[in-house]
Structure 1
Amino acid sequence: MCLLKMSCSDTESEPFPSSESEYEPEDYSSSEPSDSGKYAWLQIQWLHFKNSEPYKIFYKETLNEDYPFNAISLLPNRRGAPKMFKAIELSSLYQGPLEIHDKKKKNMEELFQFIPPIHQNYLLQGCNWKL
């Protein structure tokens, strides 16, 4: 039989730091991109989008509601570039509906019973395959 001798000594431990410390995010001060156009993307914790300003991304580097949002403008800065993305014409990537492969079709057949009846008609008419 083995007996262990243990002793406790009074040690002073430092208290845990508060999680509510005064965190000051880096100030980019402008809603326009900086000269370098670099942002601390990995530090962003909160994204916000506004319908009134569709070409801006608002962000915070903290989850604290008291801090204001910074903004990144998505509009191009160079001359000759269209200022509104609506003016850019996009061509269609595909001519007609894409083919559904056998593996996907089999999976859809298995899951079809779980789709509400109101949506089943849409799938039967909108897809180029039949169940």
Structure 2
Amino acid sequence: MVAIQNSPSLQTVDHKFLVPGHTHMECDTDHSIIEKKKKKFDIPISHPHDWAQLMRQCGRKKPMVVIEQHCEDFFDFAGLYKGPLQLRKEDSDGKKIRWREIKWLHFERDHGFDIFFKTSLKEEDPFRKVSFRRRGKSTPLLRPTIPTL
């Protein structure tokens, strides 16, 4: 929602959630390599930077590229629910939303604070809609209101 409002080139964003236990991603292999290296690593890891150093040592043929993130790279979205947004328990048709069952989120620039969602990944299934806009308030763009952690 924030990205689509603040990136003029984005018109839609689709976020599909993988089904646990039924997928294999390239990063699974990387995680395995990191875990094996950790078992052989004698120095205790007590800081995120230590993990970055360990990961830099992984992968003989193809070294891992490690990009360390800093506090300003993380945002506190929880505060948005006290301000311009309101978490809903029902969709626009009054049906209860089971948040843990959602498999596909769809955002559109023209529908600012509305989120379209499905509980399946089937193309033919219709999207349901929920609005996060707080009733009775004009809602500004989100980016300026999101503090870092």
Give TM-score, length-normalised by structure 2: 0.32
Give TM-score, length-normalised by structure 1: 0.36
RCO comparison, higher one (Cα < 8 Å, 6+):
2
